[in-house]
Amino acid sequence: MYEEDQIKPDFGKHPQNPFRTPDSYFESLEDRIMGNINEKSKKQSSIKKIIRLMKPVLALAASFALIFMLVYSPIHDFLLKDSVQTTETETTNTDSLNDFSINLASMDENSLINAIFSDDTNIFTDSDQDDFLAYLSSGLNEVDIYSEIQN
Amino acid sequence: MTDDLKILESLKDPSTKELAFRHLISKYKERLYWHIRKIVLNHDDTDDVLQNSFIKIWNGIDGFRAESSLFTWLYRIATNESITFLNLRKRKSMSGLNDESQYLIDNLESDTYFDGDAWQQLLQKAIATLPEKQRLVFNMKYFDEIKYEEMSQILETSVGALKASYHHAVKKVEEYVKSHETRIEP
């Protein structure tokens, strides 16, 4: 469709080169190009040297990082679960002790004395008895509590 | 053995590589320079692109498989480096795709090494308005008189597509020159 001979630009003038170069530009071109190439080669070889020296250090650092991640993650998860459970138990104990101390504070003197010297063992409900014991033992350590029970 | 083959053989030997490469630069520097110059228009930019092209040639010469002629391969590298350079300038200047023509025209007008008369400047402006591929084809055909078969290897485009590109490029340049010709002072 587009034959070479048929495509002749109708500019009316023969193409000439309107561009020029600085004087002696081409004469020194080889030296400048080889100078650039040698400079770049030197830079590349020093970069390669640095990478070669750093490789074992980087490999060691990467190994430590991997070991740390493999060990840290499960330990962290385990410790996290344990602290959540302990917090929940302490919260429960503190709440029941607070309730019982409020109950005691609301009792008048006569009722408290009657409660202490009464033969009626059913003054407190079972849950109240447990709470009462917990309240009394709140100031005791485990050894003291064991001794009280045994006696 | 042709000169190119002798150069390639010498380039393979580390002891003669630098000398052979200097010989290669001497042989092709002007052809590559003018090819690049017609693409980027400005002398200083051309110098940068030419240096980068020869550095790329030096780095890639060991991998040259001689599937095409040495000159075709060199020309292709120079063309790609020129296009890369223009694209980089375009991105840096934050201008849109349509402003490449304006960038080239500004480059042409500011170039102290352009000695053309008003008509030649008009022609270069017309060429600068062409799309990238048409501009390459036009320069290589109109100024360098490169055969379509060789151009096809350089630009990695079929001969048919190149002929179509050149046809459209010529039409556009003719229209531009004719529409602006009356404005040229005698």
Q: Is A15 on the interface with B (CB under 8 A)?
A: yes
- The whole-angstrom separation of Cα B74 and Cα B150 is 12
Q: Is A61 on the interface with B (CB under 8 A)?
A: no
A10 CB neighbours in chain B (<8 A) are 174
Domain of residue A108, residue span: 25-142
State CA A87 to chain mean position distance: 22
Using the beta-carbon criterion (under 8 Å), do B170 and A7 form an inter-chain contact? yes
Amino acid identity at A3: E
The pTM score is 0.65
Residue A78 has pLDDT above 90, yes or no: no
Backbone φ and ψ of A114, nearest 5°: -60, -40
In chain B, where does DSSP find H-type helix?
A: 3-12, 17-40, 43-60, 70-92, 100-110, 118-128, 132-138, 148-155, 159-180
A11 CB neighbours in chain B (<8 A) are 123, 173-174, 177
Q: Best residue in B139, B167, B182 to probe A by mutation, most A CBs within 10 Å? A: B167
Using the beta-carbon criterion (under 8 Å), do B30 and A17 form an inter-chain contact? no
CATH, residue B126: 1.10.10.10
Residue A5 has pLDDT above 50, yes or no: no
Q: What is the largest CA-CA distance in chain A?
A: 133
Q: Is A21 on the interface with B (CB under 8 A)?
A: yes
- The whole-angstrom separation of Cα B15 and Cα A9 is 50
Give the mean pLDDT of B23-28: 95
Q: Is A5 on the interface with B (CB under 8 A)?
A: no
Give the mean pLDDT of A135-151: 65
Residue B50 domain-assigned?
A: yes
B120 in the same domain as B89 = no
Which residue of chain A has the CA closest to B121? A18
Total count of residues recorded for chain A: 151
Domain of residue B1, residue span: 1-95
Q: Is A23 on the interface with B (CB under 8 A)?
A: no
**What's the whole-number average pLDDT of chain A?**
72
Task: For residue B49, give every residue at least 6 positions away whose Cβ sits within 8 Å of its Cβ, in sequence order, or none.
Answer: B36, B40, B78, B81, B82, B85
B62 in the same domain as B127 = no
Give the mean pLDDT of A67-90: 75
- When CB atoms are compared, the residue of A3, A20, A34 closest to B18 is A34
- As for how many domains chain A has, the answer is 1
B52 in the same domain as B22 = yes
Residue B104 domain-assigned?
A: no
ipTM of the complex, rounded to two decimals: 0.81
Q: Residue A149: left if φ>0, alpha if ψ -120 to 50, beta else—which one?
A: alpha
**What's the whole-number average pLDDT of chain B?**
88
Using the beta-carbon criterion (under 8 Å), do B33 and A2 form an inter-chain contact? no
Residue B106 domain-assigned?
A: no
